[in-house]
Amino acid sequence: MPAIDIHKLLHQFEYIPRQPLIFSSGLFLFLFAGFISIFYLIHHKHNVKLLYVVLFSYYFYYKSSGIYFLLLVLSTVVDYNLANIMANAPKGWQRKGLLIFSLVLNLGLLGYFKYTNFLYEIYCAACGSNFSPFSIFLPVGVSFFTFQSLSYTIDIYRGELKPVKRMLDYAFFVSFFPQLVAGPIVRARDFIPQISMPTIVTRAMFSEGMYLIISGLFKKAVISDYISANFVDRIFANPTLYTGLENLFGVYGYALQIYCDFSGYSDMAIGIALLFGYRLCINFDSPYQSSSVTEFWRRWHISLSTWLRDYLYISLGGNRKGRFRTYLNQFITMLLGGLWHGAAFRFIIWGALHGIALGIDKWVKEYFKIPDTKLVKVLGVILTFHFVCFCWIFFRADNMQIATSVISQIATHFTPSIFFNFVAGYQNVLLVMLLGYILHFLPHHIELQAQQAVYRMPLPAVVAMLAVVVVILVQVKTSEIQPFIYFQF
């Protein structure tokens, strides 16, 4: 029997830049099994329970971003104290000044890490000088916990929420590890009231949590990672090496990949939170079943779209200042939403396209009476899906040259004659894609029936089902850990 290398084993618990602690990794499953076992032993001791989860959450973030976990600590301490001062300040410029300070601090932090090189590149291009990027590390999930912390201070300013009395409670809210690095973006008003409640995990919550963990793990590690490593990444690495037909299926593949990757993470986050007795908001609702772009944004990344609506769109004036301002506010919101995703013009284009499409959709519905028939809905789903796929090209491409190459190949070198050879060469990938889209377009009641089936299963059967998914994961996994796509945002 080979001896265990203790140093190598301990090294796995240190920060390894290329190996973040993600839900689909073996190390996380191992740590989580021990962590939750201890949690159930101490859950009746409220303060001990909160401190225990906060410390694990900081360790979880340390495994993703190293020493930069101190940014999370700094944000927690500053916003907690600012919110308490703000709550006791008289209404007027003093209160507004504290909010502005919170906005400048949080958005300044986000801006430095995420947009410094982008702005410097624009400056260099304008001056005609060579661009040499600064060496700035982007902490994982900084956009998520920044927006989450801002929701707290803004709600305090608006008088919609009272500040928490203890920093431990606020630290728990900001750092809760299931949703820390890739959402859902949790609202303070929804989550903080749950913190003071005793831990109660009903059989229904446990079954729902296990179902979401299993389905999320399957979507991420089996579907998303497989089609990414074996097809999509190759297409977008050099699209001119492939025909337009292959590029088109590469775009379809990425549409499925990003959905399965991000919704899979959200499912696991929500499921893990349920095992602790906490309920997070739903983040995806079969978005590719949408018959309009407006409906798509009610179903895709719901926690972000509602955050942008409540804290940006409404703050700009919403629909209260006339039709033109409504369209403009909507466009600005989506433009900034695109910029939130990444510091590059392709993300701005992605956001702008969606902003224009939302305006067109709103205008059409205002001035034309569209019949509500099944045929119209099916045509709307097809049109919306392909528009979203077109926009995904800019989202996925590493640069504008790649994006234009993909579009050019599809438009001018489609080559349909290679279809059967293409199917034969990529039959496994195409079967996984077909499975993914079939599961996505299943009626909602079938998903509820599957969830109920898990609820009726005895606990050993549920554990066995999880084990089967893990075995499948091991069989199809790639050689390297593939972090969740939204970790970079």
Q: With contact defined as beta carbons under 8 Å apart, do 487 and 141 qualify? A: yes
Residues recognised as catalytic = 341
And the tokens for 235? 């297409």
Diameter over CA atoms, the chain: 76
* Alpha-carbon span 92 to 110, nearest angstrom: 27
And the tokens for 128? 């005609």
193, amino acid identity: P
The alpha carbon of residue 447 and the mean position of all alpha carbons in its chain are separated, in whole angstroms, by 21
In which residue are the tokens 């409220």 written? Answer: 46
324, amino acid identity: F
CB proximity list for 292: less than 8 A, separation 6 or greater: 361, 380, 384
